[in-house]
Amino acid sequence: MSKIIKVENVTFEYQKYDEEATVKALDTINLEIEEGQFVALIGRNGSGKSTLSKLLNGLLVPTEGKVYVNGYDVSNEETLLNVRQSCGMVFQNPDNQLVSSIVEDDVAFGPENLGVDPKEIRERVDSALKAVNMYDYRLKPPHLLSGGQKQRIAVAGVIAMKPKCIIFDEPTAMLDPKGRKDIMRIIHDLHEEGKTIILVTHFMDEAILSDRVVILDRGKILLDGTPKEVFSNAEIIKEASLELPMEIELKTRLKKEGIELPEDVFRSEEIIDYLCQLK
Ligand code: ADP
Ligand code: MG
């Protein structure tokens, strides 16, 4: 398996223009992500999640250390387009990501910037809009769409660039439950197609469905492992001001009541199936 992301001893400091002081948002981070992995990145507000996400897309460059995306050094300006093409990004607020007055122009924006042939752009735009179930809205102005629909358009814009990896920075935080469910379905579909997914989230029920959970705390990696491994550290997680997934709380409570579930049963459907076959 090849590593799509390599973060080596990375520190990132924001400069405060009005003062001498700097804010150390990331402190000596090391992280490697294999192609095809689904990584959930969690941590309290201000722990450095968005900063790390922006480094993985070349929107920021490290103060110290190296970030490689698909083999390209994000600090090298000459290959920045390769970085952006390899690793796309979807942000929290869809309104800040849509730039055109017609949906299909918006989706075409990314591939146009990459210099893709116009005929191929047409095909990519149509197929990306179909992938997010928004093809029928291709000629509409984005401002008439719901938040969830706008976010699907933003995702289509990234899909049309054909990246190997997509970073989602709290993509469902501003959406209603239906909008959130639609986006999560699309993210899981993209993962099944083979895309590497990095999902920044504060929803533990989203994190538990990943291959790997990385917890950031004050700019450092606190825990890194499978959901089962990471969420078994209840004390550390609570100290980092994070909730445990409801599924884990439920298992602990059931154990107290004398019902011990097997270790590999920890996703909600698995728990329900297990409990139903008990009676
Ligand atoms: P998260 O996404 O986990 O909430 P961020 O990466 O946004 O965390 O922020 C990490 C730290 O960097 C915080 O202390 C935050 O206040 C600071 N920070 C973020 N953006 C800026 C900025 N543009 N200028 C100065 N400090 C910033
Ligand atoms: Mg953030």
The protein residue with its alpha carbon nearest to ligand 1, atom 25, reads: 14
pLDDT at residue 195, rounded to an integer: 98
Query: Is 70 exceeded by the pLDDT of residue 2?
Result: yes
Neighbours of ion ligand 2 (CB under 5 A): 49-50
Confidence of residue 263 (pLDDT cuts 50, 70, 90): confident
Angle (deg, nearest 10), helices 147-159 and 118-131: 140
Taking phi over 0 as left and psi of -120 to 50 as alpha, with beta for the rest, 43 belongs to: left
47 CB within 6 A, ligand 1: yes
Instruction: Give me the pLDDT at residue 266, please.
Output: 82
> What's the pLDDT tens digit per position in 107-143?
999 999 999 999 999 999 999 999 999 999 999 999 9
Whether residue 45 has its Cβ less than 6 Å from ligand 1: yes
**pLDDT for residue 1:** 65
Report the alpha-carbon distance of residue 48 to residue 91 in Å, rounded: 15
Is residue 192 predicted with pLDDT exceeding 80? yes
Model-level pTM?
0.94
Strand, helix or coil at 178?
A: helix
Asked if 279 contacts 273 with a C-beta cutoff of 8 angstroms, the reply is: no
* Residue 39, both tokens: 């990584």
Distance from the CA of 5 to the center of ligand 1, in angstroms?
A: 21
